[in-house]
Amino acid sequence: MKKHISKETLISRFENKLSKNEKEWVSKHLKECSKCAIALKKVGSLIELMRNDDSADAPENSIQLAKNIFEPNADSKKGFVKRILATMQMHLSPLQPSFNERGSKPSMRQTLYQAGENSLDIRVSGEEDSYKLDGQILGTGFVNAQITLSRKENEYVTTTNELSEFVFNKLGPGNYDLKVTKGSLEILLRNLEIE
């Protein structure tokens, strides 16, 4: 079995700290491995995000945060549920606008929420009555976390992948509550506006 690129190596690549040999190996591997290519994109966008954020104590924090994305599950203590309310931390400007066949502009919004030691990266895209929600939990221990999205009597459930990412498709507009459940930890994001 081939070895995947470590998170440290991915981060080093952005800091231009790789040797010539490492660089060659990494470039070759990235062409063949979509998993690592996706991981690289995540690390890149996060580092860029933190570098552009004047309020953060970058670069130390950004690198620690980037490393945290890929940490394995933390053990959960059974018996009680710790509930954290997520609050909006940063509103990121819309991403590159793109146009569909009809010439209308679909909306795309990215917002970062803070929940204790963790952050939630939420991207909402789409138009009219069909929206897509892309999310990622930044922090340790959220692989295979249960994500519940609810609005009135509608409830949608999914599970995060190995990068703590999740996605909901074909959502109607409205205010949703998003709940992240992992072990004894619950993160609640109330009144997430999808429009």
**Is residue 189 part of the contact set for Zn ion (CB under 5 A)?**
no
**Segment interacting with Zn ion, rule: CB under 5 A, options 25-33, 47-55, 109-117, 123-131:** 25-33
**Segment interacting with Zn ion, rule: CB under 5 A, options 4-12, 61-69, 128-136, 149-157:** 4-12
**Is residue 74 part of the contact set for Zn ion (CB under 5 A)?**
no
- What are the structure tokens assigned to 187, written together? 């993160």
For Zn ion, the closer CB: 36 or 69: 36
**Segment interacting with Zn ion, rule: CB under 5 A, options 28-36, 59-67, 72-80, 140-148:** 28-36
Least distance (Å) from Zn ion to the CB of residue 22? 14
**Is residue 86 part of the contact set for Zn ion (CB under 5 A)?**
no
**Is residue 28 part of the contact set for Zn ion (CB under 5 A)?**
no
Interface pick for Zn ion out of 10, 11, 26, 36 (rule CB under 5 A): 36
Interface pick for Zn ion out of 18, 33, 58, 90 (rule CB under 5 A): 33
Least distance (Å) from Zn ion to the CB of residue 160? 19
For Zn ion, the closer CB: 110 or 164: 164
**Is residue 38 part of the contact set for Zn ion (CB under 5 A)?**
no
Please give the Cα distance from 106 to 131 (Å, whole number).
10
For Zn ion, the closer CB: 33 or 58: 33
Least distance (Å) from Zn ion to the CB of residue 2? 7
What's the per-residue H, E or C state across the chain? CCCCCCHHHHHHHHCCCCCHHHHHHHHHHHHHCHHHHHHHHHHHHHHHHHHCCCCCCCCHHHHHHHHHHCCCCCCCCCCCCEEEECEEEEEECCCCCCCCCCCCCCEEEEEEEEECCEEEEEEEEEECCEEEEEEEEECCCCCCCEEEEEECCEEEEEECCCCCEEEEEEECCEEEEEEEEECCEEEEEEEEEEC
- Which residues sit opposite 121 in a β-bridge? 112, 136
Q: Using the structure block, give the residue that is written with the tokens 């998003």.
A: 178
Residues that bind Zn ion (CB under 5 A): 4, 33, 35-36
